Amino acid sequence: MEFQARHKWIRLSPQKARLVADAVRGMDVQEALDVLKFMPQKAALFISRAVHSALANAREHKGETKPDVDKLYIQSLAVDEGPIIRRIKPRAYGRAHRKRRRTSHIVVVLAERPAEKIITRRHRRTHLHPVREHETKHDEKGPEGAPEKPKKPRLFGTGKKRSQYGARVKAEGQPKQQKEKATGEHRKTESGTKGGSKKK
């Protein structure tokens, strides 16, 4: 059973509204409303209104079988382009530039999720992103026959020493040469210290 709601003639670009729609499509209704509540985009307000309207249609359904509101999720969320309002912006030398004010139509369809496909928030991460076999952790001293931890591929370096490429290598036992500190006596010249002004 599906429940639909439309929010039309929104003064908002459909390209910007689709970025928000892609973020909440497929979520449970309550989870989507919580996410939209804290999104800073302008489109989040209009999409949340459409979701609230579709949720109210589901609660006020007067059929023989009433849906379980807790199992509802956003089955489809489409943002269609509405008519473009054309305006003119005056520019220099009597010229005019065209301005296009775009509008959007939001269509929300809620449906009841089957029982076998219900995923709680706690198990959503493990369900959507299952742990792979090579990501499982093994103890260092595991039992015999346990799968070995795969080695990481070496992407950089060839394993050769710098001496093989002709780089300068210090001989063993050769003391390091210490740089002599420059003192004021070495810098003195006949006309005074080096770089100083000469007195006439």
pLDDT digits (tens, 9 = 90+) for 121-160: 555 555 555 555 555 554 445 556 566 666 766 665 555 5
CATH H superfamily, domain 2-127 = Ribosomal protein L22/L17 (3.90.470.10)
> Which is higher by pLDDT, 115 or 38?
38
> What is the rounded CA–CA span in Å between residue 83 and residue 39?
26
pLDDT in the model for residue 51: 96
Cα 194 from Cα 191, distance rounded (Å): 8
Beta bridge partners of 99: 87
pLDDT higher for 72 or 162? 72
- Bigger pLDDT: 170 or 18? 18
CA proximity to 61, closest of 135, 9, 122, 5: 5
Distance of CA 41 to the CA centre of its chain: 15
- Residue 193: the pLDDT is 57
Q: What integer pLDDT is reported at residue 68 of this predicted model? A: 87
Domain boundaries, the chain: 2-127
Q: In the numeric block, which tokens belong to residue 192?
A: 């005074």
Nearest to 102 by CA among 85, 87, 88, 79: 85
The string of pLDDT tens digits covering residues 170-195 is 555 556 656 555 555 555 555 555 55
